[in-house]
Amino acid sequence: MHTFSFVIFATSLFLPAVASAQLNVLMSGGFSGAYEQLLPEFERTSGIKVTTGSGASQGAGPQTIAAQLARGVPANVVILSREGLSELIAANRIVAGTDVDLARVPLGVAVRAGAPKPDVTTVEAFKQVLLKAKTVAVPGSTSGIWLVNDLFPRLGIADKVKAKVTPRGTDATGMVAAGGADLAVMPVSEILHAAGVDFAGSIAPEIQFVQTFSAAVVAGSGDIEGSRRLIEFLASVRASEAIRKSGMEPLATSR
């Protein structure tokens, strides 16, 4: 009887621990629109509570995901651009074999809500929009790095737009909404649900940069099983509708 009572007592202690399982996620802005829609369902169906922090996929400064991990910010799962994730894998920050591509998204242009929407559907039209703008906001991360280091030089306008391009991280749309920039060039998923801006359109296919957002388990973080469950949920067909509505193309790999 005493043994039986002890087993019941021990079990009662164990069950609340399971129910209060906790994950920490570090995520860049591109996937946040879909994630915010999906997270409540995951928490409800899994019993796992999730705390979410933000950070840039790439770049310099203390708020990149890599910099946060390096200084010990707790994270079980990271969600960021494939380029940024590849850097984390190379630095042995990721549990091998846990990386999964979730969605991809093209670059688009945001203008202040109610402002005329410029034509950005051809290479020349997009080029002229950049040249005429007084200030252009771009992300400080993967897509902004590509725009400044690859596309603008390829268009032959790097020197002409250098002084007007402002890397703003996740605040690029906020800068446009406040009138501090004429437009922002960034992932469509970061434009569609941002306050105070309108979506002018995706840039021309010939100069498009389609970004893939991926998730993985952080090495040494513990609770690999719970982390895998979250990633599987975000990569499932079940998550596809929310991802699509956020302006991204889902890359569903499981049910």
* Three-state DSSP state, 30: helix
Whose structure tokens read 């190379």? 90
Strands, DSSP E only, in the chain? 22-27, 49-54, 77-81, 100-105, 107-112, 136-138, 165-167, 183-187, 197-202, 211-217, 249-250
How large a percentage of the chain has pLDDT more than 90? Answer: 84
Under 8 Å between Cβ of 76 and 222: yes
Give me the CATH code for the 107-207 domain, please. Answer: 3.40.190.10
Instruction: Return the higher-pLDDT residue of 20 and 216.
Output: 216
Of how many residues is the chain composed?
Answer: 255
Class of domain 2-101+212-250: alpha beta
Quick check: do 2-101+212-250 and 107-207 share a fold?
yes
Considering only CA atoms, which of 133, 109, 65 is closest in space to residue 200?
Answer: 109
pTM of the model: 0.88
Q: How far apart are the C-alpha atoms of 205 and 168, rounded to whole Å?
A: 24
pLDDT in tens, 68-123: 999 999 999 999 999 999 999 999 999 999 999 999 999 999 999 999 999 999 99
User: How far lies 4's CA from each of 10, 12, 17, 18, in Å?
Assistant: 10, 13, 21, 21
Q: How far apart are the C-alpha atoms of 138 and 141, rounded to whole Å?
A: 9
- In the chain, where are the structural domains located? 2-101+212-250, 107-207
pLDDT in tens, 192-239: 989 999 999 999 999 999 999 999 999 999 899 999 999 999 999 999
